[in-house]
Amino acid sequence: MARLTPDIIVSAAIEVIGKVGFDHFSVRKLGDALDADPTAIYRHFRSKDELLRAMGDRGLAGVVDDLPTSSWRDCIRELCIRIRAANLAHPALASLVRGAPPRHDNELLITETILARLRGAGFDAETAALAYHAVIELTIGSAAIDSTLASAPSAARARIYAEWRSDYAALDAEVFPHSVEMSGSLYPGTADDRFVFALDRLLAGLATELASVLP
Amino acid sequence: MARLTPDIIVSAAIEVIGKVGFDHFSVRKLGDALDADPTAIYRHFRSKDELLRAMGDRGLAGVVDDLPTSSWRDCIRELCIRIRAANLAHPALASLVRGAPPRHDNELLITETILARLRGAGFDAETAALAYHAVIELTIGSAAIDSTLASAPSAARARIYAEWRSDYAALDAEVFPHSVEMSGSLYPGTADDRFVFALDRLLAGLATELASVLP
DNA sequence: GCCATTTGTCAACGGTGTTGACATCGTCCA
DNA sequence: TGGACGATGTCAACACCGTTGACAAATGGC
């Protein structure tokens, strides 16, 4: 009987990464947490990268459940917000960014769901594919950008944003007039708010595209 | 006289990273390329991260020169395309993604340029800030996603995309009907094309927003 | 010419992912 | 029932990595 299984390893790995952070997550620490030799993990995953991908997919479980059925925009909007949240909660997903297509179950379900809604809305295959890539790129990219700060407590995050704003305010007003003038407006709201603003504008642009094609 | 300067180190580092790839770029290899002890680099940069950021900013030199003056959309569009290209050409920039605001000269110039164009177009400060974050997030995120494959020669890239498409085609058509049906349409054109499609839709959405506010 | 600061060298620390040889254990079949 | 076999876990080791501290050489100011 196998003491270690991919599921057990992934669970332990998520726990460890939550404790030590993505940057300090190592196979050896995972081995300690499992009370097993670190190299035993290589009996179940070809490499650390493969493990990280599996961890990422675990975080996406249930992400396509009970999505709004009202409109394609509402559905995709909600799905993207959930994907982003999952990415931020499990920074392992950030490594998924690194040039690989969806291969695991939950990732495939996401692709299928988005494509289905887009086709159902009336997009032709080519445009639907482009639109799919567009929303995914914004969602994953945004998560990758925000993942570092997302792990900090919200008070610390607010302090960091305030620091950045004052950095802009301290610039030479001759060279960077707008940056100085608008320093108080930069990094408005939460990173989530900013993402949703971008996503809504992208979806609006896609809707315009659709309206121009439909009868 | 200093044999090593930040400029010399950054130049050598860019050369090395172009040869061995981002993942295999190390301080020791950089030392070899400079015919100097690897640790000498730490006399000029506090850490490897700081060096990477400096490399990134080098790649952004001149990115705001001679931008279109025709309209804010054309200007920002072109600038984002250039930023993405710079990011892909110098994957060091990908590390810049990791939760830091623009601090170097070229990065600051980008921010200033975008904000100036948005304000000039009629966006109020709050919306301009949101729009700035939106286009930057898409641009940097997209580059982060594509950076791994961008370093491969285009023939290899085409082969990889073909592989991914056939992965989708091989899925169970009962569970993933749209993915299978559209497998031939996925990953259309180049990654650049797909980014520009997304960027244009986002800019269109922002333009709609602007039109609804202006008299 | 002396002194202090900067710059380069060297050895070393404490980590990292991964591999190959070896031992153990469960399962299936003769 | 015994034996073979494959899957699983352990161990030592390899080849790296970023970074630090002590020391030496060079540089520039007084």
Measured CA to CA, the distance from residue B166 to residue B112 in angstroms comes to 44
Are B138 and B79 in contact by the 8 Å Cβ rule? The answer is no
Of A75-89, B3-17, B50-64, B113-127, minimum mean pLDDT range: B50-64
Are A141 and B141 in contact by the 8 Å Cβ rule? The answer is yes
| Nearest CA-CA partner of B119 in B154, B174, B76 | B76
pLDDT at A12: 95
Q: How confident is the model at residue B53 (pLDDT cuts 50, 70, 90)?
A: confident
pLDDT at residue B96 is higher than 60: no
Question: End-to-end alpha-carbon separation of chain A, Å?
Answer: 62
Are B67 and B107 in contact by the 8 Å Cβ rule? The answer is no
| Nearest CA-CA partner of A48 in A84, A98, A3 | A98
For chain A, 215 residues long, the average pLDDT of each consecutive 10-residue run is 86 92 92 95 94 88 93 97 88 58 77 96 94 94 80 77 88 93 90 96 96 76
pLDDT at A150: 75
- Residues B105-156: pLDDT tens digits? 788 899 999 999 999 999 999 999 999 999 999 998 888 888 777 766 778 7
* Residue of A138, A159, A164, A192 for testing the chain B interface, max B β-carbons within 10 Å: A138
pLDDT at B100: 59
Measured CA to CA, the distance from residue B51 to residue B58 in angstroms comes to 11
Name the residue facing B125 among A119, A182, A194 (closest C-beta): A182
Chain mean position to CA B193: 14
| Nearest CA-CA partner of A30 in A1, A46, A53, A52 | A52
> How many residues would you count in chain B?
215
Q: Which residue reads 């291969």 in tokens? A: A103
| Nearest CA-CA partner of B77 in B130, B131, B125, B122 | B131
Calculate the CA dihedral of residues A91, A188, A171, B105 and round it to 10 degrees: 40
Measured CA to CA, the distance from residue B148 to residue A192 in angstroms comes to 26
Chain mean position to CA B204: 21
Token output for A88: 């931020």
Q: What's the one-letter identity of residue B162?
A: A
Kindly report the bases of strand C lying within 7 A of a protein C-beta atom.
6-12, 15-20, 25-27
pLDDT at A143: 87
Average pLDDT over residues B89-93: 64
* Residues of A in Cβ contact (< 8 Å) with B125: 181-182, 184-185
Name the residue facing B149 among A99, A141, A204 (closest C-beta): A99
pLDDT at residue B92 is higher than 80: no
pLDDT at A181: 94
Query: What are the angstrom distances between the C-alpha of A34 and each of A22, A30, A42, A53?
Result: 18, 6, 13, 19
> What is the b/e burial string over A168-193, where b = at least 16 CB atoms within 10 angstroms of the residue's CB?
beebeeeebebbbbbbebbbbeebee
How does DSSP classify residue A41? G
The nucleotide minimizing the C1' distance to residue B2's CA is C7
Q: Transcribe B200-212 into DSSP letters.
A: HHHHHHHHHHHHH
pLDDT at residue B91 is higher than 80: no
**What helix, strand, coil percent values describe chain B, rounded to 5?**
70, 0, 30
Query: What are the angstrom distances between the C-alpha of B16 and each of B12, B29, B38, B205?
Result: 6, 8, 13, 41
pLDDT at residue B98 is higher than 70: no
**Strand C near-CB residues (< 7 Å), B 38-77:** 39-40, 43-44
Query: Which residues fall within 8 angstroms of residue B119, CB to CB, at 6 or more apart?
Result: A178, A182, B125, B128
Is the CB of A167 less than 8 angstroms away from the CB of B101?
yes
Kindly report the bases of strand D lying within 7 A of a protein C-beta atom.
7-13, 16-21, 26-28
Token output for B127: 């919306």
Chain mean position to CA B23: 17
pLDDT at residue B41 is higher than 90: yes
Measured CA to CA, the distance from residue A69 to residue A49 in angstroms comes to 36
Are B146 and B83 in contact by the 8 Å Cβ rule? The answer is no
Number of other CB atoms surrounding residue B15 within 10 Å:
12
Calculate the CA dihedral of residues A167, A170, A176, A181 and round it to 10 degrees: 90
Residue of A nearest to B206 (CA): A201
Q: Left, alpha or beta for A37 (phi > 0: left; psi -120 to 50: alpha)?
A: beta
Sign of CA dihedral A98, A101, A103, A109: positive
Q: How many CB pairs under 8 A join A and B?
A: 183
Token output for B210: 């602007």
pLDDT at B157: 81
